Protein backbone atom coordinates (compact mmCIF):
# COMPACT_ATOMS: atom_id res chain seq x y z
CA UNK A 1 0.00 0.00 0.00
CA UNK A 2 1.10 3.56 -0.72
CA UNK A 3 1.03 6.11 2.10
CA UNK A 4 0.16 9.79 1.64
CA UNK A 5 2.49 12.39 3.13
CA UNK A 6 0.01 12.95 5.99
CA UNK A 7 -0.02 9.21 6.70
CA UNK A 8 3.77 9.06 6.59
CA UNK A 9 3.97 11.92 9.11
CA UNK A 10 1.49 10.13 11.36
CA UNK A 11 3.39 6.83 11.14
CA UNK A 12 6.63 8.66 11.87
CA UNK A 13 5.08 10.14 14.98
CA UNK A 14 3.87 6.70 16.04
CA UNK A 15 7.39 5.31 15.54
CA UNK A 16 8.79 8.27 17.44
CA UNK A 17 6.62 7.59 20.48
CA UNK A 18 7.39 3.86 20.45
CA UNK A 19 11.12 4.34 19.96
CA UNK A 20 11.31 7.03 22.64
CA UNK A 21 9.90 4.59 25.20
CA UNK A 22 12.28 1.86 24.01
CA UNK A 23 15.20 4.32 24.24
CA UNK A 24 14.25 5.20 27.81
CA UNK A 25 14.36 1.55 28.88
CA UNK A 26 17.71 1.03 27.11
CA UNK A 27 19.07 4.13 28.84
CA UNK A 28 17.95 2.73 32.22
CA UNK A 29 19.53 -0.67 31.55
CA UNK A 30 22.84 0.95 30.56
CA UNK A 31 22.68 3.76 33.13
CA UNK A 32 23.80 6.03 30.32
CA UNK A 33 22.42 8.52 27.80
CA UNK A 34 20.79 7.05 24.70
CA UNK A 35 20.18 9.23 21.65
CA UNK A 36 17.62 8.39 18.99
CA UNK A 37 17.37 9.31 15.32
CA UNK A 38 14.27 10.56 13.52
CA UNK A 39 12.24 7.45 12.60
CA UNK A 40 12.77 6.46 8.97
CA UNK A 41 10.20 4.82 6.73
CA UNK A 42 11.64 2.75 3.91
CA UNK A 43 9.72 0.93 1.21
CA UNK A 44 12.05 -1.81 0.02
CA UNK A 45 11.58 -4.08 -2.99
CA UNK A 46 12.63 -7.57 -1.83
CA UNK A 47 15.01 -7.87 -4.82
CA UNK A 48 16.92 -4.85 -3.43
CA UNK A 49 16.91 -5.89 0.23
CA UNK A 50 20.68 -6.47 0.16
CA UNK A 51 21.23 -2.77 -0.60
CA UNK A 52 19.68 -1.95 2.78
CA UNK A 53 20.67 -4.92 4.92
CA UNK A 54 23.87 -6.73 4.01
CA UNK A 55 25.70 -9.86 5.14
CA UNK A 56 27.30 -8.14 8.17
CA UNK A 57 27.01 -10.22 11.35
CA UNK A 58 24.32 -8.92 13.67
CA UNK A 59 22.08 -10.00 16.50
CA UNK A 60 18.36 -9.77 15.81
CA UNK A 61 15.79 -10.25 18.55
CA UNK A 62 12.48 -10.75 16.78
CA UNK A 63 8.89 -10.66 18.01
CA UNK A 64 5.78 -11.33 16.05
CA UNK A 65 3.06 -8.71 16.56
CA UNK A 66 0.06 -10.46 18.05
CA UNK A 67 -3.16 -9.39 19.73
CA UNK A 68 -6.21 -7.98 17.90
CA UNK A 69 -4.48 -8.79 14.64
CA UNK A 70 -3.03 -12.29 15.14
CA UNK A 71 -0.16 -12.04 12.64
CA UNK A 72 0.55 -8.33 12.42
CA UNK A 73 4.15 -8.46 11.27
CA UNK A 74 7.37 -8.14 13.28
CA UNK A 75 9.19 -5.89 15.66
CA UNK A 76 12.96 -6.35 15.61
CA UNK A 77 15.76 -5.21 17.88
CA UNK A 78 18.75 -5.09 15.54
CA UNK A 79 22.32 -4.65 16.76
CA UNK A 80 25.63 -5.30 15.00
CA UNK A 81 27.69 -8.09 16.57
CA UNK A 82 30.39 -5.64 17.66
CA UNK A 83 27.83 -3.40 19.38
CA UNK A 84 26.12 -6.45 20.90
CA UNK A 85 29.38 -7.43 22.64
CA UNK A 86 29.77 -3.89 24.00
CA UNK A 87 26.14 -3.91 25.16
CA UNK A 88 26.38 -7.20 27.06
CA UNK A 89 29.85 -6.27 28.37
CA UNK A 90 28.28 -3.14 29.88
CA UNK A 91 25.42 -5.13 31.38
CA UNK A 92 27.53 -8.02 32.66
CA UNK A 93 30.49 -5.94 33.84
CA UNK A 94 32.93 -7.44 31.32
CA UNK A 95 35.58 -5.63 29.30
CA UNK A 96 36.96 -7.77 26.43
CA UNK A 97 35.51 -6.29 23.19
CA UNK A 98 36.78 -9.16 20.98
CA UNK A 99 35.26 -12.14 22.78
CA UNK A 100 32.64 -14.34 21.16
CA UNK A 101 29.04 -14.31 22.34
CA UNK A 102 27.91 -17.11 24.65
CA UNK A 103 24.70 -18.32 26.30
CA UNK A 104 24.81 -15.57 28.88
CA UNK A 105 25.05 -12.91 26.17
CA UNK A 106 22.13 -14.51 24.37
CA UNK A 107 20.00 -14.34 27.52
CA UNK A 108 20.99 -10.72 28.03
CA UNK A 109 20.17 -9.81 24.42
CA UNK A 110 16.81 -11.56 24.63
CA UNK A 111 16.06 -9.68 27.84
CA UNK A 112 17.06 -6.29 26.39
CA UNK A 113 15.02 -6.98 23.25
CA UNK A 114 12.05 -8.07 25.34
CA UNK A 115 12.03 -4.97 27.50
CA UNK A 116 12.49 -2.63 24.54
CA UNK A 117 9.88 -4.28 22.32
CA UNK A 118 7.37 -4.28 25.18
CA UNK A 119 8.01 -0.58 25.84
CA UNK A 120 7.63 0.21 22.13
CA UNK A 121 4.38 -1.74 21.82
CA UNK A 122 2.86 -0.52 25.11
CA UNK A 123 3.32 3.09 24.05
CA UNK A 124 2.00 2.67 20.51
CA UNK A 125 -0.86 0.35 21.52
CA UNK A 126 -2.06 2.81 24.12
CA UNK A 127 -2.02 5.69 21.68
CA UNK A 128 -3.94 3.68 19.07
CA UNK A 129 -6.31 1.94 21.49
CA UNK A 130 -5.23 -1.36 19.96
CA UNK A 131 -4.26 -4.55 21.75
CA UNK A 132 -0.76 -5.43 20.52
CA UNK A 133 1.31 -8.07 22.23
CA UNK A 134 4.77 -9.34 21.40
CA UNK A 135 5.18 -13.08 20.82
CA UNK A 136 7.95 -14.82 22.78
CA UNK A 137 11.25 -13.57 21.34
CA UNK A 138 13.45 -15.42 18.90
CA UNK A 139 17.13 -14.59 18.57
CA UNK A 140 19.63 -15.13 15.81
CA UNK A 141 23.24 -13.93 15.64
CA UNK A 142 24.24 -14.33 12.02
CA UNK A 143 24.21 -12.57 8.63
CA UNK A 144 21.64 -9.78 8.91
CA UNK A 145 20.32 -10.30 5.37
CA UNK A 146 19.75 -14.01 5.99
CA UNK A 147 17.65 -13.24 9.06
CA UNK A 148 15.58 -10.53 7.39
CA UNK A 149 14.86 -12.49 4.22
CA UNK A 150 13.72 -15.44 6.34
CA UNK A 151 11.22 -13.18 8.15
CA UNK A 152 9.96 -11.73 4.88
CA UNK A 153 9.55 -15.23 3.40
CA UNK A 154 7.23 -16.23 6.23
CA UNK A 155 5.00 -13.15 6.20
CA UNK A 156 1.31 -13.95 5.85
CA UNK A 157 0.74 -11.80 2.82
CA UNK A 158 2.78 -12.65 -0.24
CA UNK A 159 4.57 -9.44 -1.08
CA UNK A 160 7.18 -7.90 -3.39
CA UNK A 161 7.78 -4.87 -1.18
CA UNK A 162 8.17 -4.46 2.55
CA UNK A 163 7.76 -1.32 4.60
CA UNK A 164 10.40 -0.87 7.30
CA UNK A 165 9.95 1.64 10.12
CA UNK A 166 13.31 2.00 11.76
CA UNK A 167 14.77 4.22 14.45
CA UNK A 168 18.41 4.24 15.42
CA UNK A 169 19.25 4.17 19.12
CA UNK A 170 22.80 5.14 20.05
CA UNK A 171 24.75 5.20 23.27
CA UNK A 172 27.92 7.24 22.72
CA UNK A 173 29.48 6.40 26.09
CA UNK A 174 29.60 2.65 25.37
CA UNK A 175 29.74 2.97 21.54
CA UNK A 176 26.53 1.00 21.09
CA UNK A 177 24.55 1.47 17.91
CA UNK A 178 21.26 -0.37 17.44
CA UNK A 179 17.96 -0.08 15.61
CA UNK A 180 14.41 -0.85 16.52
CA UNK A 181 12.57 -1.90 13.36
CA UNK A 182 8.90 -2.53 12.78
CA UNK A 183 7.89 -4.50 9.69
CA UNK A 184 4.08 -4.64 9.65
CA UNK A 185 1.89 -6.86 7.50
CA UNK A 186 -0.26 -4.71 5.22
CA UNK A 187 -3.38 -5.51 7.29
CA UNK A 188 -1.62 -4.16 10.37
CA UNK A 189 -0.37 -1.09 8.51
CA UNK A 190 -3.92 -0.39 7.32
CA UNK A 191 -5.15 -0.62 10.92
CA UNK A 192 -2.41 1.78 12.09
CA UNK A 193 -3.29 4.29 9.39
CA UNK A 194 -7.05 4.08 10.09
CA UNK A 195 -6.60 4.53 13.84
CA UNK A 196 -4.19 7.42 13.37
CA UNK A 197 -6.67 9.14 11.04
CA UNK A 198 -9.38 8.75 13.67
CA UNK A 199 -7.10 10.32 16.24
CA UNK A 200 -6.39 13.29 14.00
CA UNK A 201 -9.97 13.76 12.78
CA UNK A 202 -12.29 12.57 15.56
CA UNK A 203 -15.84 12.48 14.27
Partner 1 sequence: MTDPAAPQIKTPVMIGIGEYHVGSGPMMTIGLGSCIGLTLYDRDLRIGAMVHIMLPDSSGRTDRPGKYADTAIPLLISKLVEKGSRRSSLVVKMAGGACMFEYFGNNLNIGERNAERVRAVLAEHNLRLHAEEVGGKAGRTVAFYPDEGGKVTVRSADGAAHEI
Least distance in Å: CB of 75 to partner 1? Answer: 13
Nearer to partner 1, 34 or 62 (CB): 62
Nearer to partner 1, 93 or 136 (CB): 136
Nearer to partner 1, 17 or 46 (CB): 46
Least distance in Å: CB of 192 to partner 1? Answer: 21
Nearer to partner 1, 20 or 155 (CB): 155
Nearer to partner 1, 81 or 195 (CB): 81
Q: What DSSP string describes the chain?
A: -PPPHHHHHHHHHHHHHHHHHHHHHHHHHHTS--EEPPPEEEEEEGGGHHHHS-S-EEEEEEEEEEESSTT-EEEEEEEEHHHHHHHHHHHHT---TTPPP-HHHHHHHHHHHHHHHHHHHHHHHHHHT--EEEPPPEEEEEEHHHHHHHHHHT-SS--SEEEEEEEEEEETTTTEEEEEEEEE-HHHHHHHHHHHHHHHS--
Least distance in Å: CB of 39 to partner 1? Answer: 25
Least distance in Å: CB of 97 to partner 1? Answer: 17
Least distance in Å: CB of 81 to partner 1? Answer: 8
| Residue ranges binding partner 1 (CB under 8 A) | 46-50, 53-55, 57, 62, 64, 71, 135-138, 140-154, 158, 160
Amino acid sequence: MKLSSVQIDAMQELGNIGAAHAATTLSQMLSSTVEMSVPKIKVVDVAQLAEHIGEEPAALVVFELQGEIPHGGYIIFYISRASAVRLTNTMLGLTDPDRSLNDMDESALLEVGNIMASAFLDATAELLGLVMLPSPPSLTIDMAHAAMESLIAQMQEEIDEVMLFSTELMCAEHRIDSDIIMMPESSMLQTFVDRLENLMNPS
